[in-house]
Amino acid sequence: MAFLPKTQWKQWAQEWNLTHSPQRGWVSRNEWVAGSYRGFLLKVGCMGEQGVLPYILIRFPKQQDASALRERLLREPGLASMLPKGQRKRGQALEVSESSIVWKDLSMRWALPKVAVFRDWVERLTQALSQTVSPFSGQCENCRTSRVDSFVLFEGVPVYLCGGCQEKYTTEANVAEHSYQNIEANYFFGTVFAAAAAIIGAIGWAALAILTGRVFALVAIGIAFLVALSYLKGAKKVDMLGRILAVLLTLGGVVLGEVLFYAQAVHKANPQLPFAIELGWEIYKASWQEPRQPLMTLFFGLIGAWYCTSFLQKPRFRPKIDRPSATAGAR
Ligand SMILES: [Zn+2]
């Protein structure tokens, strides 16, 4: 967690004419700057749930071969000297794809470097890039025909996208959303798939409990996740009835997992007794005399299933496209 993060990059953004989004709130670092620099597109911010890991994203026109580009970049002396020591750390610090590089130095996880350090990093990265790739030339990255003079943030990533292509993405999303709304949920296949997932999850859980000799209540969330995804696969759409089915099947899977574990435990302790689900069930019922453990697992299963299905209930079709002027740092 960042310690009371403050806005730090305002002046930098002004000097380089970047879009600036100031720090909001007291918990996670979410300040960022984005814009065009030396013909590339740049975004600097922090990633991770708590926003503690700073990154520098630089985008350029699409290249043929990301790994060849990476090799060339690593040979640039300015960039090479930035890399942390150790083969693995070096690999983690620089990610290269066909149209972007991401620099993140994991050793910077706890203390945010001074703005001068970021500026220096950006200078070196763009310098190294300009030796190996050509910058944007004012064309839309998607259709490569229309001229574009300002970037947009597509799902938070700066890109050059012309008005026509933005329109196309939005229209496609509307069509997809409309046809999704018209799908009839297939409760039968949803239930069949989810039930199979619940059984597989239960067996997996029992196996883990047998191996470790302990019942881990948290694993119920894993079953919930499996069940919810399988329900979606079978039903093609999650509605309220689907959520209820997924929750019930998750709870069924959770109970079955415990029953299987107890059945095996009895059989192991008394080899003259057979491995029998009924015996496991009897012990499971008896376990409610001390209700903490069975309640905990049901609780985690319930919360997990409810959360997972709410996540799956409303898929988002429309990409988030922001014009930087709308987010710019006048605030
Ligand atoms: Zn276009």
| Rounded distance from Cα 148 to ligand 1 centre (Å) | 8
| Rounded distance from Cα 143 to ligand 1 centre (Å) | 4
| Rounded distance from Cα 100 to ligand 1 centre (Å) | 19
Angle formed by the axes of helices 240-269 and 292-313, nearest 10°: 150
pLDDT of residue 331: 34
| Rounded distance from Cα 86 to ligand 1 centre (Å) | 42
Write out residues in the chain with pLDDT < 70, as ranges: 1-3, 48-51, 87-89, 106-110, 314, 325-331
| Rounded distance from Cα 234 to ligand 1 centre (Å) | 37
| Rounded distance from Cα 175 to ligand 1 centre (Å) | 19
| Rounded distance from Cα 158 to ligand 1 centre (Å) | 14
| Rounded distance from Cα 167 to ligand 1 centre (Å) | 9
| Rounded distance from Cα 141 to ligand 1 centre (Å) | 7
| Rounded distance from Cα 153 to ligand 1 centre (Å) | 14
pLDDT of residue 51: 59
pLDDT of residue 330: 38
* In 250-325, beta strands by DSSP E: 321-322
Longest pairwise C-alpha distance within the chain: 81
| Rounded distance from Cα 168 to ligand 1 centre (Å) | 9
50 closest CA partner among 95, 4, 89, 10: 4
Given a contact cutoff of 8 angstroms between Cβ atoms, the answer to whether 282 and 255 are in contact is no
226 closest CA partner among 252, 207, 259, 264: 252
| Rounded distance from Cα 62 to ligand 1 centre (Å) | 14
| Rounded distance from Cα 98 to ligand 1 centre (Å) | 19
Distances (CA, A) of 19 to 15, 66, 105, 152, 200: 11, 28, 23, 11, 50
Distances (CA, A) of 220 to 88, 201, 227, 299: 34, 9, 11, 9
Contacts of 45 (CB under 8 A, 6+ apart): 30, 31, 32, 33, 51, 54, 55
DSSP-derived secondary structure letter, 196: H
| Rounded distance from Cα 161 to ligand 1 centre (Å) | 5
Q: Residue 308 corresponds to which amino acid? A: C
pLDDT of residue 322: 87
| Rounded distance from Cα 152 to ligand 1 centre (Å) | 12
Residue 134 phi, psi dihedral angles, 5° rounding: -90, 145
What is the spatial distance between Cα 298 and Cα 319, in angstroms, rounded to a whole number?
37
Given a contact cutoff of 8 angstroms between Cβ atoms, the answer to whether 52 and 42 are in contact is no
| Rounded distance from Cα 326 to ligand 1 centre (Å) | 20
The pair of structure tokens assigned to 275 is 């491995």
What is the spatial distance between Cα 168 and Cα 35, in angstroms, rounded to a whole number?
24
Q: State whether residue 329 is helix, strand or coil.
A: coil
B/e letters for 26-59, b = 16+ CB within 10 Å, e = fewer, are eebbebbbbbbbebbbbbbbbeeeebbbbbbbbb
pLDDT of residue 3: 62
| Rounded distance from Cα 147 to ligand 1 centre (Å) | 8
282 closest CA partner among 247, 302, 258: 258
CA torsion angle for 176, 180, 181, 187 (degrees, to 10)?
A: 180
| Rounded distance from Cα 16 to ligand 1 centre (Å) | 26
| Rounded distance from Cα 73 to ligand 1 centre (Å) | 29
The residue written with tokens 């999850």 in the block is 201
Given a contact cutoff of 8 angstroms between Cβ atoms, the answer to whether 27 and 4 are in contact is no
| Rounded distance from Cα 160 to ligand 1 centre (Å) | 8
Distances (CA, A) of 131 to 37, 136, 139, 152, 272: 15, 14, 21, 26, 76
| Rounded distance from Cα 202 to ligand 1 centre (Å) | 50
Given a contact cutoff of 8 angstroms between Cβ atoms, the answer to whether 329 and 24 are in contact is no
| Rounded distance from Cα 138 to ligand 1 centre (Å) | 11
Which tens digits make up the pLDDT trace of 93-116? Answer: 899 999 999 998 766 656 778 899
